[in-house]
Amino acid sequence: MEDRWSAAAALVDSSRRALYDYVRQQDHPVTREEAAHAQHISRGLAAFHLDKLVDAGLLRSRYQAPTDRPRGRGRSPKVYEQAAPDGLAITIPERRYRLIAEILADAVASEPADATEAARRQAHQRGRDLGAAVKEQGREADLPTVLAGLGFEPRPASTGRLRLHNCPFHALAARQTTLVCGLNHAFLAGLVDTLAAGVVPELVPRPGACCVELAPEAA
């Protein structure tokens, strides 16, 4: 419990939270210089906040030689990356276990004899309903914006795909991978049905990320 509160307290400072979010969203270890440049602060201030995040258990650090230039003399730069996702019981990155719980509860109540298939249908309909609600309310219907609001952390890949760097159902997916990833796929399929014509969700499991990628529909 004390570790959890220490971690939460470490994120109260807005500059520190911004640095944490930046490091967490990168697909490579981040140096102090890169973090400082990204947040428009001094290297010394970036180093201070990054080390505080390490002390709180939110980031981990090590020394790593640069891979894009020859190694010179002296110590390798210190780099930072997110600590193991199960290390602390705080909801960063975002989790949405209530959605899965409601889908499963409705499925068991409506079709107990085949709850798994019923849950997939429920998940698909939930996605469609959400997409329709976004449009009806006149809100921004851009798919990446909606996915970001759901906690998926979407980022475009060079292949034209949209990769989802966070699984909002992480702990459940680790316990029941086939079931939860199937429900996630069905939910996203329903969502793109109403928000993004020409986009297809595909199961592409990757460690530490969402099991689904969104790909352009083949011509």
Instruction: For 68-83, write each residue's pLDDT tens digit.
Output: 555 555 578 899 998 8
- Do residues 62 and 76 make contact, with C-beta atoms less than 8 angstroms apart? no
Distance (Å, whole) CA 169 – CA 200: 20
Distance (Å, whole) CA 192 – CA 200: 7
Give yes or no for residue 3 having a pLDDT over 70: no
Burial class (CB in 10 A: 0-12, 13-18, 19+), 140: exposed
Three-state secondary-structure class, residue 200:
strand
The pLDDT assigned to 58 comes to 85
Give yes or no for residue 181 having a pLDDT over 70: yes
Q: Where in the chain is the domain with CATH 3.30.1380?
A: 97-216
Q: Check if CATH label 1.10.10.10 holds for domain 2-82.
A: yes
The pLDDT assigned to 214 comes to 94
The pLDDT assigned to 131 comes to 87
Q: Give one DSSP letter per residue of 83-125, joined into a string.
A: PPTTSS-S--S---HHHHHHHHHHHHHH-GGGHHHHHHHHHHH
Reported confidence tier of residue 95, pLDDT bands at 50, 70, 90: low
> 108 forms bridges with which residues in the sheet?
none
Percent with pLDDT over 90 in the chain: 32
Q: What pTM, to 2 d.p., does this model score?
A: 0.61
Report which of residues 141 and 44 the model is more confident about: 44
**Residues contacting residue 100 through CB under 8 Å, at least 6 positions apart:** 169, 172, 180, 183
Give yes or no for residue 2 having a pLDDT over 60: no
The pLDDT assigned to 93 comes to 59
Reported confidence tier of residue 195, pLDDT bands at 50, 70, 90: confident
pLDDT tens profile 27-47: 889 999 999 999 999 999 999
Tell me the backbone φ, ψ of residue 66, rounded to 5 degrees. Answer: -60, 140
Give yes or no for residue 85 having a pLDDT over 50: yes
Over residues 39-68, the mean pLDDT reads: 87
Report which of residues 4 and 41 the model is more confident about: 41
Annotation: CATH topology of 97-216: Muramoyl-pentapeptide Carboxypeptidase; domain 2 (3.30.1380)
Q: Where in the chain is the domain with CATH 1.10.10.10?
A: 2-82
